[in-house]
Structure 1
């Protein structure tokens, strides 16, 4: 397989092999710093202990984000305190939930809510997910059948959002959101879940799956650091803009770079 080289590199830096993975829902967990770095740059308090559980707290101390890989099943827990509008809420995401999809929700925690009413299903329908009723549940399934999102009614009358992905080799994750979870957060999650953009994983971190497509790319450490820094810079700029009454700058948004011309490996 021919690897892609980035233009403008000097001869003194060694490229490393990475892979772009589609669909992103089956790409594996990824680097948790994708989530924590953005929150930290957005003014969140990092209350983690060295070598322990990741624990982040919002500036107003009303929302907490934790990641625990040391227990079973482990994974992400996001908890919001009750306010005058809704009761407390929580979201639980398995540890193999790709960090790019987790960040759909956690990034949205740092931004003001849109004035438009949220629609969880809209991002899925825009990417041709199939929606249907299943008894009292409403479900959307990705075109390849590997990922789903469902509004789930339990026998006791409670309701929750339930989502996940699974391939034929048994790679899987699930997530659920309590009934009081703000809908704009669930919509932000569904938008990243449905995104057709591939995500990047280093060699050795790509799940063995017959239902993913990969593109081999050669990336230098400085290039990776530049992409990560662009995301951090965007978070800091947005935080500065929100906290500066005189600022009218639009909010910056960093998106991952997708190299053109990389070849697929099936």
Structure 2
């Protein structure tokens, strides 16, 4: 018989903790056809795109300072090689926003001229720091717990850094994107940070900092909706398709339109 289960809704989402990594890996494999490295002796997950240009590695390291997730893309055409990394406690929904944008077949990808546009709309503010020819353009969340920084050198952004931290405690998680990362992926990352929709977590998996510095509420949802959430997400991503050009009608017999009777 269907039944309801208790869940936690965590906001802001950058405090929600890791979540389930399959939220990222399963759609990449099943919906986007990324292949997996089949080596039982290697304690990491490696997914490679069908064109062999992009690769996602998940290599949990005992050192919490090392990133668990590494996304790399090789040089191709006018696009230089780029990479992005995410620490272990980065919510998977934030990483998924980047991988979803990367695998979206819609072309061309659209990104705002101002990468901070979404953050500003969500109430993030922008102090600015200068150091000679190098400056740090940053945006800080309304609660002061999350920060996005673009390191600018000679009018060119050299790296993007996302950091979530609580005063007097170690940094919760960091993410990095190099300056060659496509703008629409940077925009996807920032959009996921600014999204005010709470993230769903199991009650026993809510991080302590989310309870003390965030907004956590409990609710009840059907067990079926939780069990099939990943399947629904994977199906939706698989159904994305590149828009097809309009079909030009084939010339055929001329049919005269009937005039309306007056």
Range into which the TM-score falls when normalised by the shorter chain: 0.7 to 0.9
**Shift, 1:150, TM fit:** 0.6
**Matches of 2:51 and 2:17, distance apart in 1:** 32
What is the aligned partner in structure 2 of residue 6 from structure 1? none
**The one of 219, 227, 245 aligned to 2:229:** 227
Contact 1:48/1:56 (8 A) holds in 2: no
Contact 1:75/1:93 (8 A) holds in 2: yes
Map of 1:74-93 to 2, 5 A cutoff? 74-93=67-86
Aligned residue pairs: how many? 233
**The one of 121, 126, 149 aligned to 2:121:** 126
| SS of residue in 1 equivalent to 2:179 | coil
Counterpart check, 1:44 vs 2:43: no
| SS of residue in 1 equivalent to 2:239 | helix
Single out whichever of 113-122 and 24-33 deviates more from structure 2: 113-122
In the alignment, structure 2 segments of 5+ residues that lack a partner are: 248-262
1:76-111, Cα deviation, whole Å (9 max, x unpaired): 100010122132111111110100111111111111
1:88-144, Cα deviation, whole Å (9 max, x unpaired): 111111110100111111111111342555532111011011013211110000000
1:45-65, Cα deviation, whole Å (9 max, x unpaired): 233545831211111110111
- Quickly say closer, same or farther: Cα 1:118–1:19, change in 2 above 3 A: same
TM-score, with normalisation over the residues of structure 1? 0.79
**Matches of 1:127 and 1:99, distance apart in 2:** 21
**Matches of 2:112 and 2:207, distance apart in 1:** 37
- Quickly say closer, same or farther: Cα 1:137–1:70, change in 2 above 3 A: closer
Single out whichever of 26-35 and 221-230 deviates more from structure 2: 221-230
| SS of residue in 2 equivalent to 1:204 | helix
**Shift, 1:189, TM fit:** 0.6
1:176-230, Cα deviation, whole Å (9 max, x unpaired): 1111111111111110011111001112111112111111123343211232222
What is the aligned partner in structure 2 of residue 62 from structure 1? 53
Contact 1:43/1:59 (8 A) holds in 2: yes
What is the aligned partner in structure 2 of residue 252 from structure 1? none
**Matches of 1:48 and 1:199, distance apart in 2:** 32
| SS of residue in 1 equivalent to 2:143 | coil
Runs (4+) of structure 1 exceeding 6 A deviation are none
What is the aligned partner in structure 2 of residue 195 from structure 1? 195
**Matches of 2:60 and 2:187, distance apart in 1:** 26
Contact 1:26/1:166 (8 A) holds in 2: no
What is the aligned partner in structure 2 of residue 105 from structure 1? 98
**Matches of 2:146 and 2:236, distance apart in 1:** 29
- Quickly say closer, same or farther: Cα 1:192–1:117, change in 2 above 3 A: closer
TM-score, with normalisation over the residues of structure 2? 0.80
- Quickly say closer, same or farther: Cα 1:119–1:43, change in 2 above 3 A: farther
| SS of residue in 2 equivalent to 1:167 | coil
